[in-house]
Amino acid sequence: MPAGRSDRLLLLILVGLLLAPGIARAQAVTGDAGAQAILARFYANPVPGGDPLTEFKLVQPLVMLRAGLPAWRLSFIGTLDLEGWTMPNGELAPGDWGEGFVDRRHPHTYVHELLLVGDVVRASESRVSVTAGKGFAPFGTDDPMSRPFVRYPVNHHLAQILERWVGIAAVRFGPVTVEGGLFDGDEPEFPGQWPLFEGRFGDSWSARLTVRPVNGLELQGSHASVASPEHRPGAGLTQEKWDVSGRFSHLVGGHPTYALVEWAHSAEADGFFEFSSILGEATWSAGRHRLAYRFERTSRQEEERLVDPFRSERPHLDNQIFGTTRWTVHTIGYAFSLPIPRLSLDLSPLAELSAGRVDKLEGLFDPQAFYGKTSFWSFTVGARFTWGMPMHRMGRYGAALPEPMPHTHGEVM
């Protein structure tokens, strides 16, 4: 899509998101809106070249809308992500990678989600839905943006498939949900880019099985075949991806508690390139206080860097992979909620500390030479601003969503 048309469409969507709640009330249509952003100072030591670096950024600036037409069993999900304007050079985060960024978390596309969801069947014990638009393929775990941490895990592109044209069918019967989806394999190269439809939609697929045996516990396993994700014209390798996770979200001793354990694996070229991840994270809330901890051990491909050592070449081909490293990261976090009910606003000062190491697994890339050392740490301090509705579970739509349960700020329960 040409840049001019893309900008005009983005403007129309933004105006629609702002006006939609009033229109919904006038037409007796259900709807809700919200927004959030995190203003923070990021420090990392070392960065490529061996020096420390400090940056001040506005990250995760979102405008969200959910609307429904119950009589027609239709609902709409829209999420605008303005990171292309507020953090065009990415968010400082050792180990993170994807969409041409390395040791930085990339900005997402302006239109993060734009989906229409229709219920074919909706009864007390069963639900069948279809979803179409731009969003997440039915694979892996929720978008890290809808989880409690500011820092994205290194495994983001192993464990989620996002910002594609998707067509999804989901069936839930009792505690079991099955989803299947078709989508385009190409991932974005810059925030204003739209996914390819002609020639790419349907070249990739995924399926996910979810079981909720008791309230608050969710077990899922998923598989995806993604055609040429890092080479937009389609000349790249196909990725075969697996993800298995367990998620707990409930009250424990009267305190909201959340935990996630996950294993993710991606392979290319019939297993010639393989990347795996083990991750565990948890939060515990007491009143306005929330404590969080995450551990992950994730292998990462090392690609040819550009003049800017935080960027790699796109389109990407397999002959640009120079090795594999393993990133072991511990992250602890604290947040304090300061609600302002009169304004439907919540202000949450926060702090996160990450520490870990990077190890060479194979290939020519030497982390000791590139970073100056193999241990690293980073620190984030700032505040999360949230207005209106809480963030939804990005990546689950229609019948794939569990029945609503009590939640606390910053966590989708």
| Residue 360 domain-assigned (yes or no) | yes
| Residue 171 domain-assigned (yes or no) | yes
Cα 263 versus chain centre, distance:
16
Residue 407: pLDDT band (50, 70, 90) is very low
The lowest-confidence range among 23-32, 91-100, 256-265 is: 23-32
Q: Say whether pLDDT at 87 is over 50.
A: yes
Domain extent at residue 215: 3-400
State the CATH number of the domain containing residue 197. 2.40.160.10
| Residue 408 domain-assigned (yes or no) | no
**Domains identified in the chain, total number:** 1
| Residue 105 domain-assigned (yes or no) | yes
Instruction: Report the distance separating Cα 413 and Cα 408, nearest Å.
Output: 7
Q: Say whether pLDDT at 319 is over 70.
A: no
pTM above 0.75, yes or no: yes
| Residue 411 domain-assigned (yes or no) | no
Q: Tell me, what's the pLDDT at 118?
A: 95
The lowest-confidence range among 272-276, 326-330, 354-358 is: 272-276
| Residue 72 domain-assigned (yes or no) | yes
Q: Say whether pLDDT at 71 is over 70.
A: yes
| Residue 195 domain-assigned (yes or no) | yes
Summarize pLDDT for 96-114 with one digit per residue, the tens: 999 999 999 999 999 999 9
List of long-range contacts for 250-257, beta carbons under 8 Å, 24+ apart: 250/215, 250/216, 250/217, 250/405, 250/413, 251/406, 252/284, 255/284, 255/285, 255/286, 256/283, 256/284, 256/285, 256/406, 256/407, 256/408, 256/411, 256/413, 257/282, 257/283, 257/284, 257/285
| Residue 68 domain-assigned (yes or no) | yes
Summarize pLDDT for 136-168 with one digit per residue, the tens: 999 999 999 999 999 999 999 999 999 999 999
Q: What are phi and psi of 121, to 5 degrees?
A: -135, 135
Q: Tell me, what's the pLDDT at 231?
A: 87
Helix then strand count (H, E) for the chain reads 4, 19
